[in-house]
Amino acid sequence: METTLTPLDFARRTRRLHADREAVVDGERRFTYRQFFERCDRFSSALLALGVVQGDRVAYLAPNTHRNLEGYYAVPQIGAVIVPLNYRLTSDDFAYLINHSGARVVCADRDHLDAIDSVRNQLTGVIAFVALEAARDGWLDYEDLLARSGIDFERPLIAETDLLSINYTSGTTSRPKGVMITHRNAALNMVGTMLHMNLGVRDRYLWTLPMFHANGWTHVWIMTAVGGTHVCLRKVDAPAIFERIASERISYFCAAPTVLIAIANAPEALRKGAPRGVRVMTAGAPPAAATIERIEGELGWEVTQIYGLTETAPLICICEALPEHGALSASQRAVIKARQGVEPLLTSELRVVDDDGAEVAHDGASMGEILVRGNVVMRGYYNDPEATAKAIRDGWFHTGDAAVVHADGYLEIRDRIKDVIISGGENISSVEVEGVLLRHPAVQEVAIVGLPHERWGEAPQAFVVLRAGSSATAEELRQFAREHLAHFKVPQGVTFVDELPKTATGKIQKYLLRGGAAIARQ
C-alpha cells in the first residue's frame, strides 16, 4: 500500500528513531525531539479546540524561534495550511495577506503584536489571535494553550496533493501572490536537497535564513527529517553567526548573498577563530565570485549556490561540484560556483528557451527564459486562476528569468525578464515602489531599477522626472517612500533626470537605466 509523500512522514520516522536526540536550540532553551514533538502535538490540540479544521489557514508572523518552527508541524498535522508572513512588511501588508489567505488564526511574535493590533479591525475572518510570547489583552498566550492541551488528537488522512503552505511572493506586481505548495512539492524538494547537500544526523543547522522564505527553503522539515539539530537565531548579524557557529558546532547553514557579504567582510578577529569545514547554501541573488572565493579561501568553508523560486518549493537548480573542478584555480572555481548549475535529482526538468520556444545553444552566450516542470512546481496561485494560467503554460512554469547555458550544461542567470529587484534575498516589486513615489505631488514620472549594492547584492534606485515648476530633494522622496513602504523597499538613491528612455510605444527601457544611459540633471 502506498503512503503519502509528506514532510510529516519524515517527521514520523524521526519521532521513532531520534526521540532523545537534541532537536532544537533557542538561546538557553534546548529540546529533544521527544520534547519538541510533544509541544507540536499540544498546539495541534489547541488549534482544534479553537475551531480550526482541515483545510483552514493559520498565519505566522515571527522571526526564527522554536515556537515558529513548531508551527510547521502543529498546523499541517491536523490538515491545516500554514501561511508564513514576511515580518519585514507593513501593517497594511499583513492585513492584506491575512485576509487574502483567509487565515482563521494569527500567531505572532512579541515584536509584531502592535502591527497586528493596528489592523485588527480589518481582520474580520480571524477567530483567534495567539501571542507566541508576551501575551496581552486580546491575545491568547501560546505557552498557556500548550499547558492546557493534551498530546492526543485525531490525525486526519492527508493526501500528498493537499496544501501544506501558502507562501506569498510579491513578484512584479503591487499585490503579492499566494503560492500553493503541496505536501508532495515539499517532500520531493526535501529529498533532492538532502541528497545533493549530503545532510545527515550529525548536522547542526544554523537558522540564518528566515523561516518564512519558502519555508526556509524547506529546511524547517529537512533538518528534522535527517535527525539533525535546529539552532535558532532570532536576529542575524555577523558576530552572532560566528559566535553560534563556534559555540554550537554548526556544520551547515543557508544564507542570502547579503549574509555572505557580511561574513566575508566581518572583522578579522571574528573570522580568524572560525572553525573550518562549514557548508553554506546560498540563493536569492547571484553571489559575486569574489565573495565565494574569499569565504572558501579564508574561512575554509564550502559554498554551494542553488536557484529556485517560491513557486518551485524552491529548489530547481544546484551548482553541483564535479571532480574536474578540483583541478581549477580557486578563482576559476569561484566563477563556476557563481553560476546556478544543473537540475537536481527528483525535483525538476529545466529548459532555457528563446522567444520561439526553442532551446538556446549551450554556448554561454545565447540567452533565453528559464522554464521548469516537475515535482516541485506549485499547484498554482491561491485564488488567482488568471495569474496561474499566465505562469504555467503547456505544462511548464515560466520563471521570467533570463539565462545562458554553458557547454557543460551549467545554467547562469544573466538578467531578470521581470523587473523584480532582489535585495538581501527579498523580492521588491518595482511597480509597487513606483506607485508610491508617483503619489508625491512633485513627481511626474519614475522608474525603479535594481543596481549593484555592496551589502545587499542589489538595491532599488529611483530615476525621477519632476513636474514642471516643482522641486524635491532625494532625501525628501526617500522619506516619503519610507512612510508608505517597508524599509527594505525604499530606494537607496534617487537620480533626477529630464526624461526617461522609452521605446516607440512608450515603455520605459529599464535596461538602459541599469546600464547608466540616463544622464543625471545637474
Q: What is the pLDDT of residue 509?
A: 79
Q: What is the pLDDT of residue 171?
A: 44
- The closest alpha carbon to 484, from 92, 121, 119, belongs to 92
pLDDT in tens, 281-296: 998 766 666 678 889 9
Cell of residue 78, nine digits: 491536523
* C-alpha pair distances (Å), 101 with each of 179, 391, 460: 10, 20, 28
Q: What is the pLDDT of residue 418?
A: 61
How many Å apart are CA 303 and CA 206, to the nearest integer? 15
Work out the average pLDDT over 271-278. Answer: 90
CB 168 within 8 A of CB 97: yes
How many Å apart are CA 21 and CA 198, to the nearest integer? 20
Backbone dihedral angles phi then psi of residue 328, each to the nearest 5 degrees: -85, 160
How many Å apart are CA 132 and CA 212, to the nearest integer? 16
Residue carrying C-alpha cell 518595482: 430
What is the rounded end-to-end Cα distance, in angstroms, of the chain?
Answer: 74
How many Å apart are CA 298 and CA 274, to the nearest integer? 10
CB 84 within 8 A of CB 212: yes
| Residues sharing a CB contact under 8 Å with residue 52, sequence separation 6 or more, in sequence order | 58, 78, 80, 104, 105
Positive or negative torsion for Cα 421, 423, 429, 430: negative
Cis preceding linkage at 314, omega within 30: yes
How many Å apart are CA 494 and CA 473, to the nearest integer? 9
| Residues sharing a CB contact under 8 Å with residue 126, sequence separation 6 or more, in sequence order | 98, 103, 104, 105, 106
* C-alpha pair distances (Å), 21 with each of 9, 15, 130, 445: 18, 10, 29, 59
Work out the average pLDDT over 31-53. Answer: 98
CA dihedral 362, 398, 160, 15 (to 10 degrees): 60
CB 233 within 8 A of CB 259: no
* Residue 468 pLDDT level (bands cut at 50, 70, 90): confident
Q: What is the pLDDT of residue 518?
A: 44
Q: Which fold has domain 420-514?
A: GMP Synthetase; Chain A, domain 3 (3.30.300)
Q: What is the pLDDT of residue 415?
A: 61
Residue carrying C-alpha cell 496544501: 163
Which CATH code fits 348-416? 2.30.38.10
Which CATH code fits 7-235? 3.40.50.12780
Residue carrying C-alpha cell 495550511: 81
pLDDT in tens, 473-516: 999 999 999 998 988 999 999 999 998 887 433 457 787 888 76
- Give residue limits of the domains in the chain: 7-235, 348-416, 420-514
* C-alpha pair distances (Å), 181 with each of 89, 108, 256, 326, 386: 22, 22, 22, 37, 18
How many Å apart are CA 334 and CA 280, to the nearest integer? 14
* C-alpha pair distances (Å), 156 with each of 40, 166, 208: 16, 20, 33
The strand pairing partners of 145, in sequence order, are none
Backbone dihedral angles phi then psi of residue 404, each to the nearest 5 degrees: -115, 160
How many Å apart are CA 511 and CA 505, to the nearest integer? 16
- The closest alpha carbon to 17, from 224, 250, 194, 252, belongs to 224
| Residues sharing a CB contact under 8 Å with residue 159, sequence separation 6 or more, in sequence order | 4, 183
pLDDT in tens, 405-462: 999 999 988 766 666 677 787 767 676 788 788 889 898 788 888 888 878 888 899 9
pLDDT in tens, 282-340: 987 666 666 788 899 999 999 999 999 999 999 999 999 889 888 889 888 888 888 89
Give the chain's mean pLDDT.
91
Q: Is the pLDDT of residue 522 over 70?
A: no
- 27: helix, strand or coil: coil
Cell of residue 93, nine digits: 501588508
Indicate the residue type of 116.
Answer: I
* Residue 172 pLDDT level (bands cut at 50, 70, 90): very low
